[in-house]
Amino acid sequence: MDTALILTSVSKHIQLTKKEEEFFVSLLQEKKLKKKQFLVHEGEFNKFTAFVIKGCLRSYSIDRNGFEHIIQFAPPGWWIADIYSVISKQPGKLNIDALEDSEMFILYREDQEKLFEKVPKFERFFRILTENSIAANSHRLIDYMGLTAQERYFTFCDRYPMLMKTLPQKQIAAYIGVTPEFLSKIKAEFLKKK
């Protein structure tokens, strides 16, 4: 699998020597998933983070009524994990599966710790990723509490135009917290106003 995308992602935040790049790449493990195949099930211990090279993954929980609540989509260039499980070493709360055939690099937590020891600048890299994730989740929570379903849909369209082209409506509906039928109504009303 080509490492260009992950190295480009890293280079946006830290500069690596050739030797540091080689060490980092040596810790990565390749993983492929078929569409609908799971990377992690709720209740399992998630011991790694995944960087998507091709395809798209999603993380989600299922409530008592059987409804899916999507937490994150991860298209190429994005990291995904059940961070609670990775950090706490407790059983995970999320399912992570492939929305389409996908390829990724896996970085196990123990290898990440080795990376921090040998190449300390990676602590900065993962701190930046964590801060960006916290900010995005906080923003999403505020949107969820303060915006109407229609406003959440248009916000999603503005923030993730590349996902609008590839994701099924059912997935977008689960992300913004509505049923697919309600999302269809939102879109129909918008088209009438145009």
Q: Is residue 133 part of a domain?
A: no
Q: Is residue 95 part of a domain?
A: yes
Where do we find the tokens 């990723």? 129
Domains: count for the chain: 1
Q: Is residue 125 part of a domain?
A: no
CA–CA gap between residue 133 and residue 31 (Å, rounded): 23
Condensed to tens digits (0 to 9), the pLDDT of residues 6-61 reads 999 999 999 999 999 999 999 999 999 999 999 999 999 999 999 999 999 999 99
pLDDT at residue 82, rounded to an integer: 96
Q: Is residue 194 part of a domain?
A: no
The CATH number given to whatever domain includes residue 60 is 2.60.120.10
Residue 94 and residue 60 in contact, taking contact as beta carbons nearer than 8 Å: yes
